[in-house]
Amino acid sequence: MADVVRLVEHLARALVDDPEAVSASAEMHGHTLVVRLTAAPPDIGKVIGRQGRTVTAIRTLLTAVEGTSARRVVLEVVE
């Protein structure tokens, strides 16, 4: 679980102007791992990307990372 959080933080920090404002947390809900990502308000658009392409790519990476386990991963971008 900590590896997934570090991966999300690392990817998000590479995208934003204020990397110190990026934080991620994770919690389990049954067989689902919910990862919540927060960033500075001006940087939220950079994390989401045009038409949501960037956040979709991050979600795809998380699915690939957790593909061998039985749990599902959900990424939520918190404003």
- Residue 15 φ/ψ region, left for φ over 0, alpha for ψ in the -120 to 50 degree band, beta for the rest: alpha
Q: What is the pLDDT of residue 65?
A: 87
Reduce the secondary structure of the chain to three states and give it as a string: CHHHHHHHHHHHHHHCCCHHHCEEEEEEECCEEEEEEECCHHHHHHHHCHHHHHHHHHHHHHHHHCCCCCCEEEEEEEC
Query: What pLDDT, on the 0 to 100 scale, is given for residue 66?
Result: 82
CATH number where 18 lies: 3.30.300.20
The pLDDT of residue 68 is: 76
pLDDT of residue 2: 82
- Per the structure, how many domains does the chain have? 1
Per-residue pLDDT of the chain (79 residues; tens, 9 = 90+): 788 999 999 999 999 999 999 999 999 999 999 999 999 999 999 999 999 999 999 999 998 988 777 788 999 999 8
Domain that holds residue 16: 2-78
**pTM to 2 decimals?**
0.88
Q: Which residue has the tokens 């404003």?
A: 79
